[in-house]
Amino acid sequence: MTEAITPTELESKIKRGDNLERTDLSARDLSGAKLARAKLPRADLDGCNLEGADLRAAELEGASLREAFLVNANLSNAKLCKANLDGANLSGADLSGADLERANLAGANLEGAKLRGAKLRYAQLDSARLGDADLERANFAHADLIESDLGGAFARGANFSRAVLRNADLSGATLAEAGFEGAALEQALLVGASCEHARFYEADLSAARLDRANFEDTDLRRAILGGASLEQCVLTGARLHGAQTTLEDLQRASAQWIDLTPDGDGARKSKLSDFGKAGGQSSSPPRAAEHTARRYFGAGDVLRNAELEFQDGARIEIDSRFEHCNIRLGQDTELVVGEEGVLEDCTIHGGRLRVFGQFMERRSPGLQGPSEFFVSKNGRVSATLAQAGQGTHFAFERGCRLRLKIMEPGTGGGHEQEK
């Protein structure tokens, strides 16, 4: 492609279906260009003016769009995985359904952008601006959102599980039904945020500001709330079993009732003043080990025929593929099989297990003596579970694919459950 190519010539090539991989279009003025379904993987679009351009369903995998001007551009259903959008201006852009997995959006301007249903797993969004953006049902799992601005964003049903949101600003955001399981929200601002029915299970909200936020019917079990500001925070119906906070801090909030049961099923209603009295509540800071004894096995890795043992109190997250592995866990060790994680023909001894990916057994029983066993709505399990001596606590979300034979403690018998 020559330097003198005009937008019209470019549009003609795209209409013909030409593959423009690695094409250099840096610093071009392509404002308003009709580039729908363009094949531009790994193209150089740095500093390009694409204001109002039509890039619907464009193939831009691995493309470089650093400092590109994409104000009001239409990128719905575009493929931008691993694209570099560092410092790009996407304010008002339509990215609905776009694939931005592992994309670099550090410092990008996405104010007022439409990201409904977009895929942003493992994306880099540190210091990005997403104020007033439409993030409904977007997937930010494992994304880096450190010091990002999501003030006033509409993120109902969005997935922020295990995302890093330290020092992020979510003030006034709509986060109802969103998932923040295991997310890092230290010193985050959620002032006036709407978090009804959201899931903050095991999220770290240390020193976060939750003033005037609405946490009605929100799952805060095992969440870390040490030093969090809860002035006028609404906690009616909140599930607080195992939450790490103090009664003094909680009393700055308001609640008609809270749920202190391990299941969080609302079967028993308690008062805020009951916190710390019921079994399983924690009013002390988390042990140092809970922050330091962590192991992460990332996506794309494969581990075969390994013998693994993890100390008591550790946390292990697996987004890799494990085959024929034998894993021994300490009594209070947690193993999380992430959405990308696949454990095939493995045996796990003890610990607390949370499955968001797949566990497929061939040798029986593949699950031996876990104290807790949880399967998310996207989890898939086919296994036999031999319960711990004191029994195993089970929790299954609606929608999970489950074929599980459960063996009673101390017996060889069991019953099979299928969902």
Q: Which fold has domain 1-129?
A: Pectate Lyase C-like (2.160.20)
* Per-residue tokens: 259: 């749920």
| Domain boundaries along the sequence of the chain | 1-129, 150-283, 289-418
Q: What single letter denotes the amino acid at residue 369? A: G
What count of Cα atoms within 13 Å lies in the side-chain half-sphere of residue 110?
A: 33
* Residue 197 backbone zone (phi > 0: left; psi -120 to 50: alpha; other: beta): left
Contact 300, 321 (CB under 8 A): no
Pick 150-283's CATH classification: 2.60.120.10, 2.60.40.10, 2.160.20.80, 3.40.190.10: 2.160.20.80
| Distance of alpha carbon 9 from the chain centroid | 42
Convert the pLDDT of each residue in 82-141 to its tens digit.
999 999 999 999 999 999 999 999 999 999 999 999 999 999 999 999 999 999 999 999
Domains 1-129 and 150-283 share a fold: yes
Say yes or no to pLDDT of 283 above 60. no
Convert the pLDDT of each residue in 246-262 to its tens digit.
888 898 999 999 999 88
Convert the pLDDT of each residue in 332-370 to its tens digit.
899 999 888 999 999 999 999 999 999 998 778 999 999
Q: What is the pTM of this model?
A: 0.73
